[in-house]
Amino acid sequence: MGDDSLATSSNSRRNPALTGRQNPVLTFISAFFGNFIVQRFLLFLLTVWVAATVIFILPRLTGQDPVKEKLLLEAQRGGSVQAGMNEMAQEYSARLGLDLPIQEQYINYITDLARLDFGYSIAYFPRTVNEIILDSIVWSIGLMTVTLFLAFVLGTGAGALLGWSRSPGWLSYAFMPLLTLSAIPQYMLGLVLMFIFAIILNWLPFFGAYSPGNLPEWSLGFVLDVLRHAILPALAILFSAVGFWAIGMRGMMVNTQGEDFMIQADAKGLNGTRIFVRYAIRNALLPQVTGLAISFGTLLTGAVLVEVLFQYPGLGNTLFYAIRVSDFFQITGIVMTIIISLAMATMIVDLVYPLIDPRVKYTQS
């Protein structure tokens, strides 16, 4: 269940704090600077490094260099972009050093990554990949973090009620729809929503983040326009993710209710609400939070496709266009950005976890 690197203190290890009262703040701070944090951060670095290395090595194992081919092709094609392409080709050679030995190429690549420098975009040449990412990431953060957070809260709540044996009977009818929602990939759900609300009912816009011709500015009209455009993609991500969390939480609630302490809570004649919140939900939530770290990736890649479907100008859609024009630097930049953000989110969840599960401490096993 828990992460292996988190130590679960066993029964045999007595708490030394049995006698004196310790300052909880001090305890926390000393734990905070204990080695678990450092280790977790090293794991984060390792994750990013492994991902970057895999991306670097695997294609080279094939002996092909489609990047170079693509650049040469563009250069040969000539025309308006030719001047840029020649520079690009030189840039590419200089950066990844086509003529350099592979270990030097690799060192260059990693150094650039460490500086978060992803170079120039092939498709929009004088622009750098970082500029493009900065433009689009705002929209993604706005859309995805809000919806994924909401989905976790709503889904966990719904799942808790669904899995609770004393919930009203009619609630169980919500299970099949939720299961179906969680089974539909987010972008498929997006298709259905788009069809119903944008095409048939014509209530909401079906593409973009704001109406064309509307310039981004801080005005009420523009904000409302942005919100209107965000509703459908947000709902597509939300519905599917709510189902996912609800199903998981329901299972955990069923598990928890089989625990001995739930019988004992009943034997104590506790208030139903207290048993539900402090005993059932509190315990069922723990694996749910661990699952959060693991499921970020799947949920996020699903959300990337929703952006493509709704042509929402976030990272996902930018990635899609970069794929269509084979803009390798941009693709690598966007993918690494997503990987780094995910690894960071996972690290944060892992670091917060010991605060909610007293059995797990900030110590190494």
Partner 1 sequence: MVTTEQETRSSSASADEEFALRVEDLKVYYGTPRGTVKAVDGVSFNLKQGERFALVGESGSGKSTLAMAIMRLTREPGHIAGGHIYLNGRDVVDMPEREIRSIRLREMALVPQGAMNSLNPVMRVGDQIIDGILDHVMTDESPPSKSELDERIHELLIRVGLDPNVARLHPHELSGGMKQRVAMAIAISLDPNIIVADEPTSALDVVVQRQIMQTLGRLQEGLEAAVLLVGHDMGLVAQFADTIGVMYAGKLVEVGSVPDVFKDPKHPYTQLLIESLPSFDISRKFVGIPGMQPALLNLPPGCSFNPRCPSVHERCFREVPAFLPIDGRGVACHLYDGETSGVPPLAGEMSEGQRGAAN
Partner 2 sequence: MARATGTRNLTMGTRARLARRRWGVFYQERVEPIFLYGRRNPSLIVGLAMLGTLLLFTIIGLFGYAQLEPHTNDPSQNSRLDAFVSGGAPVGDKRLPPSWCTWCEDIAELEGDKKPTLFQYPMGTDTQSRDLLATNLRGIPLTLGTGLIAGLLSVGIGTVTAFVAAYYRGLPDVAIRLLTDVGISIPGLLVLIIIRIQLGTELLWWQLGAGLAAVGWVFSSRTVRSQVLVLREQPYVEIARQSGMSGLAIIFREMMPNLIPYITASFVASVAGAILASIGLEALGLGDFSSPSLGMTVYWVIQFGAITLGMWWWWLFPLIFIVIIFVSLFLISAGLDEWSNPRLRRQV
Report the chain's terminal Cα–Cα distance, integer Å.
Answer: 15
**Interaction of residue 62 with partner 1, rule CB under 8 A:** no
Binding mask 9-48 for partner 1 (x = CB under 8 A): xxx-xxx-xxx-x---------------------------
The gap from C-alpha 6 to its chain's centroid, in whole angstroms, comes to 22
Residue 247 interacts with which of partner 1, partner 2, none, CB < 5 to 8 Å by class: partner 2
Which residue from 236, 248, 237, 233 is spatially nearest to 179, judged by alpha carbons?
Answer: 248
Closer residue to partner 1, CB minimum distance, 6 or 286 = 286
Closer residue to partner 1, CB minimum distance, 16 or 126 = 16
What does the block give as tokens for 361? 């401490």
Residue 43 Cα distances to 12, 49, 234, angstroms? 29, 10, 32
Stretch that binds partner 1, among 100-108, 194-202, 254-262, 304-312 (CB under 8 A): 254-262
Q: Is the distance from CB of 353 to CB of 360 less than 8 angstroms?
A: yes
Q: Which of residues 239-278 bind partner 2 (CB under 8 A)?
A: 247, 250-251, 254-255, 258
Residue 277 Cα distances to 154, 161, 188, 271, 285, angstroms? 15, 10, 35, 10, 10
Q: Which residue has the tokens 């794991």?
A: 43
> What's the chain's length in residues?
365
Given its phi and psi angles, is residue 97 left (phi above 0), alpha (psi -120 to 50 degrees) or beta? Answer: left
Q: Which of residues 258-287 bind partner 1 (CB under 8 A)?
A: 259-261, 263-272, 274, 278-279, 282-283, 286
Residues that bind partner 2 (CB under 8 A): 1, 3-5, 43, 46-47, 50-51, 54-55, 58-59, 62, 64, 66-67, 69, 165, 179-180, 182-185, 187-188, 191-192, 194-195, 198-199, 206, 247, 250-251, 254-255, 258, 293-294, 296-298, 300-302, 305, 308-309, 319-320, 323-324, 326, 328, 331-332, 335, 338-339, 342-343, 346
Residues that bind partner 1 (CB under 8 A): 8-11, 13-15, 17-19, 21, 259-261, 263-272, 274, 278-279, 282-283, 286, 356-359
